[in-house]
Structure formats: C-alpha cells, structure tokens
Amino acid sequence: MDLSTTIAGVRFSSCFMNASGALCVTREELLALGRSRTGAIVTKSMTVEPRDGNPAPRYYGFPGGSINSMGLPNLGYRAYAALIPELKTLGKPVIASVAGLCEDDFPTIAATINAAKPDLIEVNLSCPNIPGKPQIGYDAEASERLLKRVRKVITVPMGVKLPPYFDPAHHEMMGEVIGRCGVDFLNLINSVGNGLVVDPEREVVVIKPKGGFGGLGGTIIKPVALANVRAFWKIFEGRIPIIGTGGVVNGVDAFEHVLCGASAVQIGTVLVEEGLDVFGRLEMELSAQLSKKGYTRLEDCRGKLKEL
Ligand code: RRO
C-alpha cells in the first residue's frame, strides 16, 4: 500500500512520523529516528539556550493517554542547526520545531535554523508547560505578530503547531490569522493543556511541575484532535495541508485523521510508550484499513468524511 504523502511540496515516503517532543531531543534519539520507519525526523521544540526542562516526574502514561510537563528540555537552537545537515543525510525530510521563551526568541532561532536548511520548519505556538507563560496560540494578536516576524526569515515551508480550540469562533479567528501570515501547513493539535491526573490510591498528583497540571495526549484527546483537523480543513477547503496529531494509537485512528483532512499523522504518546517499532505496526494497520475500504492511496479518502 502506498502511504506516501506530500506536504508543501515535500515528499514523505510514509505519512507517519514522530510528534515533536517524543524521542527527539538528543543527537542519539534523532539518529535512531532516522534509522526507524518514521516518515520524517521531527526535532524537539528548541529555545535559544539549552534547557534541562522541568523537575521530574514530568511524564506519566496511563491506559487512556498521557500527561506531561516536560518544560522544553532541548539542546538549544545552535546545536540543532549544527545537527540538521547530518540528519538530512538519513534520507527523509527533517522538520525543525522552533519555539522560544519570549516573542523575540522565535525570529532569532528561525533565521539560524532556516540557514541550516531543514526540509520544513514548524513554529510551535502551543507549549502549555512553561510556568507563567501562556500558550501564544490562545492570543490571536500575539500569534499574528509573531508569525509575520518569523515568516520574513523563513524560506523553507513554514508550518504552525496550534493548541486545540474548543469553539468555532476561535477556529475562525485563528483561521483568519493563518490566512494573513503565509502559513504553508498546519500541525493540529498540541497536547490539551493543563489537565490534571490524580492517583486516588495515594491521593496525589502524578507529575511534579505546576502542582500536577500538564498537557494531555493519547487516546483521550482524539476527538479534540479530529475536530480541530476537520474545522481547519473546512475553513481552508483543503488548500493548507494539515498534519494530524493527537490520539493516534492504531491504524484506524490514523484513517480517521485522514478522513477529517490530514495529509500526515504524528505520533506522541504511543511512540513514547511503545518505542520506534510503532511506525511499522501503524503502517501495517493503516494499509489493512485502506485495503479493507477499497482505497489504494491516502488522497482517495483525504477529507472525505461524510456528514449526516
Ligand atoms: O516541553 C514541553 O513541556 C511540551 C511542549 Br514544548 C509542547 O509543545 N507540548 C507539550 O505537550 N509539552
């Protein structure tokens, strides 16, 4: 089965890839991704200076998903800029995820990373885990200001990783911002921010930072992810390609993202839980699902979700 896909003119031999944050911080992790069946190498979101991140425990997996408050542990953008040429020799697209601790950081990082020529750049407007720093994606004006600044220094395809929105008015408002900023692709969604998981036996939170509040991922967020993929697919009538992220643990989950409009699918929680072999499993499961439905390529069903 052909699971290849194209996003903003870049070809991916598989539609499955790691979500930023999952097994992609260090050189060793990124090289291991390159040797795996992932369709692309996505880096951890980067800041100006290297960071250890928040205190542990800062990730907790449970049957329905995960909660994390990693706090942007990363090598700093200079190290990723130096690594990108090596990663590009591994024969698959490299997506650099750019973040920052303040608005001015983003263009600084974006300019140097752009010069290292990753295949695509993903601008992360949605980290929920830095104490005292709200998610930029929930501030439409700040998002527009920032995207216009980074767009000026980015010459490779530029995407935006957005937080989940829960009201059509917010989808519309961000859709207008995206439409004004020269965005080449969307990645929907980041984790559902500031959830709280409780251990009732020990009567305690499960992660240390922020009193236990953290970003939710995995199966429990799939309907939220699908809704955001579908909402932005409809707003742009399929003209801006979408990477669907959130709640993909099997091939049928990926199929649902594609029906809603996703061109590719990223894997976070289940990659952390299962390791790099997850990509081969997902390829087999999605291929089986497409065959069962009589489809031979992703394009045949992309966005084709029916309504009642
Ligand atoms: O590092 C993190 O805590 C983190 C980031 Br930058 C993000 O974008 N999403 C997330 O769930 N965790």
What are the boundaries of each domain within the chain? 5-54+72-194+220-300
Tokens matching residue 103 = 């608005």
Task: Compute the distance between CA of residue 237 and CA of residue 248 in angstroms, rounded to an integer.
Answer: 23
Output the pLDDT for position 152.
Answer: 98
- Supply the residue whose CA is at minimum distance from atom 8 of ligand 1: 127
Task: Compute the distance between CA of residue 237 and CA of residue 10 in angstroms, rounded to an integer.
Answer: 20
Task: Compute the distance between CA of residue 212 and CA of residue 196 in angstroms, rounded to an integer.
Answer: 6
127 is catalytic: yes
Atom of ligand 1 nearest to the CA of 71: 3
- Who lines ligand 1 at CB under 6 A? 21, 45, 68-72, 99, 124, 126-129, 190-191, 215
Residue 134, class by beta-carbon neighbours within 10 Å (0-12 exposed, 13-18 middle, 19+ buried)? Answer: exposed
Atom of ligand 1 nearest to the CA of 217: 11
Output the pLDDT for position 206.
Answer: 98
Q: 62-81 burial, b if ≥16 CB within 10 A, otherwise e?
A: eeebbbbbbbbbbbebbebb
- What SS3 class is residue 150? helix
Among 127, 181, 260, 301, the active-site one is 127
Q: Over its length of 308 residues, how does the chain's per-residue pLDDT go in tens digits?
A: 999 999 999 999 999 999 999 999 999 999 999 999 999 999 999 999 999 999 999 999 999 999 999 999 999 999 999 999 999 999 999 999 999 999 999 999 999 999 999 999 999 999 999 989 999 999 999 999 999 999 999 999 999 999 999 999 999 999 999 999 999 999 999 999 999 999 999 999 999 999 999 999 999 999 999 999 999 999 999 999 999 999 999 999 999 999 999 999 999 999 999 999 999 999 999 999 999 999 999 999 999 999 99
Global confidence as pTM:
0.98
How many whole angstroms from 99 Cα to the centroid of ligand 1? 10
List, in order, residues 6 or more apart from 182 with CB less than 8 Å away. 147, 151, 158
Find tokens 């501030």 and name the residue: 139
Probe residue for ligand 1, chosen from 161, 190, 208, 243 as the CB with the greatest number of ligand atoms within 8 Å = 190
Please name which of 257, 292, 272 lies closest in space to residue 5, comparing C-alpha atoms.
257
Atom of ligand 1 nearest to the CA of 193: 11
How many whole angstroms from 296 Cα to the centroid of ligand 1? 35
Output the pLDDT for position 218.
Answer: 98
CATH architecture, domain 5-54+72-194+220-300 = Alpha-Beta Barrel (3.20)
List, in order, residues 6 or more apart from 65 with CB less than 8 Å away. 216, 217, 218, 219, 220, 221, 247, 269
Output the pLDDT for position 285.
Answer: 98
